[in-house]
C-alpha cells in the first residue's frame, strides 16, 4: 500500500497485523483465518486482492504457544496451524519489520495499550471480540464452543473485509472501511 491518497497496486498483498494482549487466541485465529481465506480465494481462479496476515501481542504467551482450544477450533475448520506462535508486537515496530497496511486490534485491552510506532504509519481499526480464553460465568475452564463462536464471527468479518474493493482504496478509505466493519 502506498501513502495516503494513492491506491494499493493489485499485485501487492495487503498486509494486516492483528493485535491482542497475549496473542494466544483471537489474533492468532484471525491471522491463520485471513491467510487461509486469501489462499482459498486465489486458488479459486477469482481475480482478488491478495492478503498477508500477521499477529502479535503486548505480552505474548510465555511459552509462545497459541491456546490449544484456538488451535483446535482452527484445525476443526480446516485451517492450517503450522508455524503459528505468540509474538511480541515490538518486533513489528522495528525499522526492518515488514510494513503493514492495516493494524486491527481485536481486544478491548490491547486498544488501550500504547503500541509501537508502526513503520509506514498503517491504517488502524478496532474490532472488539470477547476473550474466549476466559471461562463462562459459573465455569472453571474456557469452553471450546467459545473459540468456535469467535472463529465464526472472525470469518464473517474477514469475508466482508475481503469483499471490499481494496485495490481502489487509499489508506484513509481502508481505515474507514475497516472501522465500519466493526459495527
Rounded to an integer, what distance in angstroms lies between the CA atom of residue 128 and that of residue 90? 22
Contact 66, 32 (CB under 8 A): no
Residue 11, pLDDT above cutoff 70: no
pTM of the model: 0.87
Residue 111, Cβ neighbours under 10 Å: how many? 18
Q: Is residue 38 part of a domain?
A: yes
Torsion of CA 124, 177, 24, 91, to 10 degrees: -30
Residue 82, pLDDT above cutoff 90: yes
Q: Is residue 180 part of a domain?
A: no
Residue 160: give the domain boundaries: 14-130+142-168
Report DSSP state, residue 30: H
State how many domains the chain has. 1
Q: Is residue 181 part of a domain?
A: no
Mean predicted confidence (pLDDT) in 149-167: 92
Rounded to an integer, what distance in angstroms lies between the CA atom of residue 147 and that of residue 156? 14
- CATH number of the domain that 149 lies in? 3.40.50.2300
Contact 109, 135 (CB under 8 A): no
Q: Is residue 3 part of a domain?
A: no
Q: Is residue 103 part of a domain?
A: yes
Residue 155, pLDDT above cutoff 80: yes
Which tens digits make up the pLDDT trace of 48-67? 447 999 999 999 988 899 99
Rounded to an integer, what distance in angstroms lies between the CA atom of residue 42 and that of residue 60? 31
Rounded to an integer, what distance in angstroms lies between the CA atom of residue 162 and that of residue 12? 14
Mean predicted confidence (pLDDT) in 24-36: 97
Mean predicted confidence (pLDDT) in 25-37: 97
The pLDDT mean for the chain works out to 87
Q: Is residue 179 part of a domain?
A: no
Q: Is residue 9 part of a domain?
A: no
Rounded to an integer, what distance in angstroms lies between the CA atom of residue 77 and that of residue 30? 13
Q: Is residue 149 part of a domain?
A: yes
The answer to which of 28-37, 86-95, 107-116 has the lowest mean pLDDT is 107-116
Percent of the chain with pLDDT over 70: 88
Check residue 80 and give its pLDDT: 96
Amino acid at each position: 500500500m502506498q501513502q495516503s491518497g494513492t491506491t494499493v497496486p493489485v499485485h501487492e498483498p495487503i498486509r494486516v497485523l492483528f493485535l491482542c494482549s497475549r496473542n494466544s487466541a483471537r489474533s492468532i485465529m484471525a491471522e491463520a483465518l485471513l491467510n487461509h481465506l486469501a489462499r482459498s480465494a486465489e486458488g479459486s481462479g477469482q481475480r482478488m486482492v491478495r492478503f498477508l496476515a500477521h499477529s502479535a501481542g503486548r505480552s505474548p504467551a510465555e511459552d509462545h504457544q497459541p491456546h490449544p482450544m484456538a488451535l483446535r477450533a482452527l484445525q476443526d475448520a480446516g485451517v492450517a496451524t503450522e508455524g503459528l506462535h505468540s509474538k511480541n508486537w515490538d518486533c513489528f515496530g522495528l525499522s526492518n519489520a515488514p510494513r503493514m497496511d492495516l493494524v486491527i486490534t481485536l481486544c478491548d485491552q490491547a486498544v488501550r495499550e500504547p503500541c509501537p510506532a508502526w513503520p509506514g504509519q498503517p491504517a488502524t481499526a478496532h474490532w472488539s471480540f470477547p476473550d474466549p480464553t476466559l471461562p463462562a460465568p459459573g465455569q472453571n475452564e474456557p469452553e471450546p464452543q467459545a473459540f468456535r463462536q469467535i472463529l465464526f464471527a472472525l470469518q464473517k468479518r474477514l469475508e466482508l473485509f475481503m469483499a471490499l474493493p481494496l485495490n481502489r482504496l487509499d489508506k484513509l478509505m481502508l481505515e474507514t472501511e475497516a472501522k465500519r466493519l466493526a459495527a
